[in-house]
Amino acid sequence: MLNADIALAGRLLDALQEASVDEPGITRDAYGKGEEAAHTIVLKEAERLGLITTRDAAGNLFMTWPGEHRERAPWIVGSHLDSVPHGGNFDGAAGVVAGLAAVSALKAAGLKPPRPIIVLAIRAEESTWFPTSYIGSRAAFGQLEPSALDLLRADSGRTLAEHMHALGFDAEAVRRGECSIRKGTIHGYVEIHIEQGPTLELDNAPIGLVSGISGSFRYRAAKCLGVYGHSGAVPRRHRRDAFMALAELAMKLDCFWEENETPDAPLTITFGQVTTDPVQHAFSKVPGEVGFSLDVRSTAPALLERADTALMKFAAEIEARRGVHFDWGPRSGSTPAVMDAGILGLLELIAGQRGVLAPRLPSGAGHDAAVFSANGIPSAMIFVRNQNGSHNPDEAMRLEDLEVAATMLAQLLMAEAVK
């Protein structure tokens, strides 16, 4: 039986760790030193495997094996190589490494795929660096809005265009909407990624098949505005306490979450940042202003719409009763994506043949696969069991679990040859 090149995978992951260590954890900054070092590492491995390597205007790295019939629409497999600051080594990178490990196994077995395979290392998937999602994949489709090139990176204060130019990429071509991936020309997209929650670990399953990817709406820079006052001198009936108002909103949304979520329509609601103004706040002051972020996600579009309607209804009621005002700031978001039933069926067939437990589960986090799906490309994701969550230094994926996922990927890429 075919087995992915797990030695290659381990070697590459070790090299990526060493190149991007930033205690605690690792940092591969989008369009910065860390991400570029990672791209260089995988490019050299692709060249060693004899793949054809090219970069597009946005710096996405295409590593191509032409296969038996190079005129056919290709498979694309891969993921991103950037990370959050002080994150773990596997989020994103495992998918690129798995693609190369699958190709290496096919080559070592003397097999030639029936159509081209492109292993794709995508730029800037994490929105922590620039306040927008899926920069690299949207740029590849020519769909990155021109204004995104003027966004400032969170740490450097320089624009996305400036960071692209510094690495030799063509930001103006991206701004014009030039594309490197065209709708209708791709056979399918498969992304391997660590699971970012505990489900597979609790179910003792090495991998899972993603049924859908959550969409979202987000307010990154919202405020609740009230009136500052003396903590001992202003009675409750006269207070316009911004924090208490926000706390009430959070509890109302939590009740909505509990009452509306179902297994078929999961929901998450997160106030990731809550801050009082350090210039004005004090131990003995009623808070007159609270800044916060709100991130609402679901795989069900109708549930997202209901959550947004409920949010505005709750906020209006609190404003009227407490004398505060919610300033929401810019709204951003993404559309839920459904994974391709045909590819999922093939993967379930392969898992059954190998005796692998592979439950279906939704993805609460966003992934580049959502962009491919939105462009009409049949897409699928394989989650790999991960013991300690993601976006933290303690990501703990087992190599043997990655081997299961990459081996299933290799078999999928050869599926037409076995029909």
Same-domain pairing of 330 and 342: no
**Would you say residue 419 has pLDDT above 70?**
no
Mean pLDDT across the stretch 179-208?
A: 96
What are 17-45's pLDDT values in tens digits? 999 999 999 999 999 999 999 999 999 99
Q: Give the model's pLDDT for residue 1.
A: 72
Same-domain pairing of 280 and 321: yes
Same-domain pairing of 358 and 282: no
Secondary structure letter of residue 262 according to DSSP: B
3-state secondary structure of 253: helix
Q: pTM for the whole thing? A: 0.87
- Please state, as a whole number, how many other Cβ atoms lie within 10 Å of the Cβ of residue 233: 9
Domain end point (choices 311, 334, 357): 334
Secondary structure letter of residue 332 according to DSSP: E
**Would you say residue 417 has pLDDT above 60?**
no
What are 294-335's pLDDT values in tens digits? 999 999 999 999 999 999 999 999 999 999 999 999 998 888
The verdict on residue 109 lying in a domain is yes
Considering its fold, how many domains does the chain have in total? 2
Same-domain pairing of 202 and 294: no
Q: Give the model's pLDDT for residue 333.
A: 85
What are 246-301's pLDDT values in tens digits? 999 999 999 999 999 998 889 999 999 999 999 999 999 999 999 999 999 999 99
**Euclidean distance between CA atoms 398 and 405, whole angstroms:** 11
**Would you say residue 234 has pLDDT above 90?**
yes
CA-wise closest residue to 387 among 108, 147, 199, 112 = 199
Same-domain pairing of 105 and 185: yes
Same-domain pairing of 19 and 98: yes
The verdict on residue 1 lying in a domain is no
pLDDT category at 69 given cuts 50, 70, 90 is: very high
**Euclidean distance between CA atoms 18 and 412, whole angstroms:** 32
Same-domain pairing of 90 and 56: yes
The verdict on residue 315 lying in a domain is yes
Same-domain pairing of 354 and 308: no
Q: What is the CATH number of the domain that holds 283?
A: 3.30.70.360
Q: What is the CATH number of the domain that holds 85?
A: 3.40.630.10
Same-domain pairing of 394 and 274: no
Q: Give the model's pLDDT for residue 416.
A: 64
Same-domain pairing of 340 and 330: no
Domain end point (choices 308, 334, 360): 334
Same-domain pairing of 243 and 345: no
**Euclidean distance between CA atoms 291 and 388, whole angstroms:** 30
DSSP string, 211-240: EEE-EEEEEEEEEEE---EETTTS-GGG--
CA-wise closest residue to 207 among 217, 215, 216, 199 = 199
Domain with 377 in it: 6-213+336-418
**Euclidean distance between CA atoms 271 and 291, whole angstroms:** 10
What are 74-104's pLDDT values in tens digits? 999 999 999 999 999 999 999 999 999 999 9
Q: Which residues of 93-109 are buried (b: 16+ CB within 10 A; e: fewer)?
A: bbbbbbbbbbbbbbbee
Bridge-partner residues for 268, per DSSP? 297
Please state the separation of Cα 158 from the chain's center in Å: 23
Same-domain pairing of 345 and 329: no
The verdict on residue 46 lying in a domain is yes
Domain end point (choices 306, 334, 362): 334
